Amino acid sequence: MNESNLNPPPPLPPSLPADELPLGEHPHDCNPIVGALGVIEAVLRHPRRIVFHLNQGSATGRLVGLLLAVALVFIAVYGAIVGSFSGGLQWWAAPLKITGGLVVTAAICLPSLYIFACLGGSPARLGEVAGALGGLMALATLLLIGFAPVAWLFSQSTQSVVVMGGLHLLFWLVAAGFGVRFLKTAFRRLGLRSENGLNVWVVIFLLVSLQMTAALRPLVGPGDKEPLLPRPEDKKFFVAHWFDSMDAQARRTPVRRD
Amino acid sequence: MTSAPPKSARFQLGPLLRGEAEVIAGWITRWTAGHTWRHVALIVAGAGAFGAAMGVWRAPAQAGFSAVKLPLILLATAAGNALLNGLLAPLLGLNLRLREAFAAVLMSFALAAAILGAFSPLMAFLVWNLPPLNSGSSANAMAHSVMLLTLVAVIAFAGVTANLRLLQLLRRLGGEVIAPRLLFAWLAVNLLLGSQLSWILRPFIGTPSLPVEFLRTGAFHGNFFESVFSTIRQLWPDF
């Protein structure tokens, strides 16, 4: 009698879903990320791969640089679409200010992200944290590029600064929402135990990015009627700026009776 | 030949922020002058950056003054209370040496300073978005309130986090009963000295009608608690 029939092998443990496998054990994790196209594919389809490569240490800097470069190119392109509404000076001023705004937002929010990540129990290094933030920016700006044709079409068919501003804002919030989802997934892989601090940081990040709409105005409206940046005495909270813009629009628009 | 210190003995910001009590307890027992200097550097950099971001709303010179004064308060409080904190620890049941008590307090201050430093770019951004302090615009009162609330929120968050981490460390060193008792005692004496130091070293932002200066002329006249009491009496004269 065959011995193997007497001692059947122990049952295999149920295999984990691919997303729950430890980092590096999924077949896609270790594939190299080559160039901008590799970054785009990884951010969209294999976010675990980004986290795995950030976690390796040796190429963290290169990957963070690639993520940032992709985000900067995409946001500059989307900035040109924003500028196309008013044209003229805004063709170059809007992309420049929106790109600068995103860089400043990331730079001033990075230290607090590192602090909140550590307070949440993640052993992530600053480079990994910067990479997770770079991934958020790359994914959000990639989505903005996806929205760009819609935004361009509206910008050519409406004269309302408020409608266009609202539309860009909506696109940014949707894009940032997906970016934040990437960030949270990345930090779970990077050992985050509590997301409370990260949620606070997300609110801070969104507030800073929204305040940029007031700090760098005009972004959508014509650039030749106002200074390139608001004068010190004209600084406003972003909500006040939005309400003022809506009031100004309402005063300019005649009541239609058709 | 001297061997490199074990990894757990080397100062790193990450374990301090994560509150890895075992690693931090290791630092305390193997505390060196290097540890002191690194924590002092962290306090100078973190609290200094936050002070500068706060003071720049008034004037660039005030930013420089506040960048010096805010770390000075933390360091002077840790140094001024070192003996008292060291005495309170064994009296309340935790057999810490003077150096170890000083190390624990300095570490919690360094953690608070690191958090303040991380928030300083956000403070600077807030200041950049506020109307100038001396502009006299109608929005100025609201801007002042926003600034004050943000300062309170950030400083409270840094302070609470630092003390929670200190409590975790004290729990590991002395157990559940002694730790809150000792933390409360340390907080009380540090608050007493720290509040008076902050009173003496005022202003940190400064009233627009008064000149920008490192110390007010009457810096040593009065005290923090007298000032709070007289403010309450102004609000409620019958008090």
Tens-digit pLDDT profile for residues B128-156: 999 888 766 666 777 888 888 899 899 99
What average pLDDT score do residues A207-221 get? 93
Query: Closest Cα partner for B65 from B219, B213, B239?
Result: B213
Q: How many CA atoms lie within 13 A of A141 on its CB side?
A: 29
Token look-up 């949270």 returns A184
Confidence class for position A18, pLDDT limits 50, 70, 90: low
Kindly report the nearest CA distance between residue B86 and chain A, in angstroms.
28
Confidence class for position A71, pLDDT limits 50, 70, 90: very high
Query: Closest Cα partner for A123 from A187, A181, A198, A52?
Result: A187
- What does DSSP assign to residue A233? G
* Residue B161 touches partner A, C-beta closer than 8 Å: yes
Rounded distance between C-alpha atoms, residue A140 and residue A171, angstroms: 9
Residues of B with Cβ-Cβ distance to A112 under 8 angstroms: 118-119, 122
Residues of A with Cβ-Cβ distance to B150 under 8 angstroms: none
CB contact under 8 A, B14 and A123: yes
Query: Other C-beta atoms within 10 Å of B38: how many?
Result: 17
8 A C-beta contact, residue B130 and residue A235:
yes
What average pLDDT score do residues A60-78 get? 95
Residue in A with minimal Cα distance to B165: A119
Q: Write down the pLDDT at residue A146.
A: 93
Q: Write down the pLDDT at residue A27.
A: 72
Query: Closest Cα partner for B66 from B74, B118, B107?
Result: B74
Residues of A with Cβ-Cβ distance to B132 under 8 angstroms: 232-233
Residues 6+ apart with CB under 8 A from A77: A95, A145, A148
Token look-up 């303040």 returns B116
What average pLDDT score do residues A180-199 get? 94
Note the pLDDT tens digit of each residue in B74-99: 999 999 999 999 999 999 999 899 99
Rounded distance between C-alpha atoms, residue A178 and residue A140, angstroms: 7
Rounded distance between C-alpha atoms, residue B86 and residue B77, angstroms: 13
Judged on CB neighbours under 10 Å (0-12, 13-18, 19+), B3 is: exposed
Q: Show the tokens assigned to B225.
A: 């608690």
Residues of A with Cβ-Cβ distance to B118 under 8 angstroms: 111-112, 114-115
Q: Write down the pLDDT at residue A175.
A: 96
What average pLDDT score do residues B43-72 get? 96
Note the pLDDT tens digit of each residue in B186-229: 999 999 899 889 989 989 988 888 889 999 888 888 778 777 77
CB contact under 8 A, B125 and A208: yes
Asked if pLDDT for residue A253 goes beyond 90, the answer is no
What average pLDDT score do residues B105-133 get? 94
Note the pLDDT tens digit of each residue in A111-169: 999 999 999 999 999 999 999 999 999 999 999 999 999 999 998 888 899 999 999 99
In this complex, the residue of B18, B119, B131 whose CB is nearest that of residue A118 is B18
* Residue A115 touches partner B, C-beta closer than 8 Å: yes
Residues of A with Cβ-Cβ distance to B161 under 8 angstroms: 119
In this structure, of A3-17, A173-187, A234-248, B162-176, the range with the lowest mean pLDDT score is: A3-17
Mean pLDDT score of chain A, rounded to an integer? 88
Q: Write down the pLDDT at residue A228.
A: 84
Rounded distance between C-alpha atoms, residue B215 and residue B149, angstroms: 24
8 A C-beta contact, residue B67 and residue B98:
no
Task: Return the residue in B116, B122, B142, B145 with the most chain A beta carbons within 10 A, the one to mutate for interface testing.
Answer: B122
Q: Which residue has the higher pLDDT, A4 or A72?
A: A72
> What is the identity of the amino acid at A222?
P
Element counts in chain A: helices (H) and strands (E): 9, 0
CB contact under 8 A, B117 and A112: no
CB pairs under 8 A between A and B: 57
Q: Write down the pLDDT at residue A234.
A: 83
Residues of B with Cβ-Cβ distance to A232 under 8 angstroms: 131-132, 135
CB contact under 8 A, A123 and B124: no
Query: Closest Cα partner for B186 from B106, B69, B117, B73?
Result: B106
* Residue A194 touches partner B, C-beta closer than 8 Å: no
Q: What is the ipTM of this complex?
A: 0.79
Query: Other C-beta atoms within 10 Å of B29: how many?
Result: 11
Work out whether the CA dihedral B186, B192, B197, B198 comes out positive or negative: positive
Q: Write down the pLDDT at residue B222.
A: 76
Query: Other C-beta atoms within 10 Å of A257: how many?
Result: 4
Asked if pLDDT for residue A37 goes beyond 60, the answer is yes
* Residue B113 touches partner A, C-beta closer than 8 Å: no
Query: What is the rounded (10 degree) CA torsion for A44, A46, A48, A53?
Result: -90
Token look-up 């290097």 returns B34
Pinpoint the alpha helices (H) of chain B. 13-18, 21-29, 33-55, 60-80, 82-91, 98-129, 140-200, 224-235
Residues of A with Cβ-Cβ distance to B137 under 8 angstroms: 233
Q: Which residue has the higher pLDDT, A198 or A27?
A: A198
- Largest Cα–Cα distance of chain B, in whole Å? 73
Q: Write down the pLDDT at residue A128.
A: 94
- What does DSSP assign to residue A255? P
Confidence class for position B2, pLDDT limits 50, 70, 90: very low
> What is the identity of the amino acid at B163?
N
Residue A229's φ and ψ, nearest 5 degrees, are -130, 150
Residues 6+ apart with CB under 8 A from A32: A38, A53
Asked if pLDDT for residue A1 goes beyond 50, the answer is no
Query: Closest Cα partner for B81 from B105, B61, B52, B109?
Result: B105
CA-only gyration radius of chain A, Å: 23
Asked if pLDDT for residue B7 goes beyond 90, the answer is no
CB contact under 8 A, B18 and A111: no
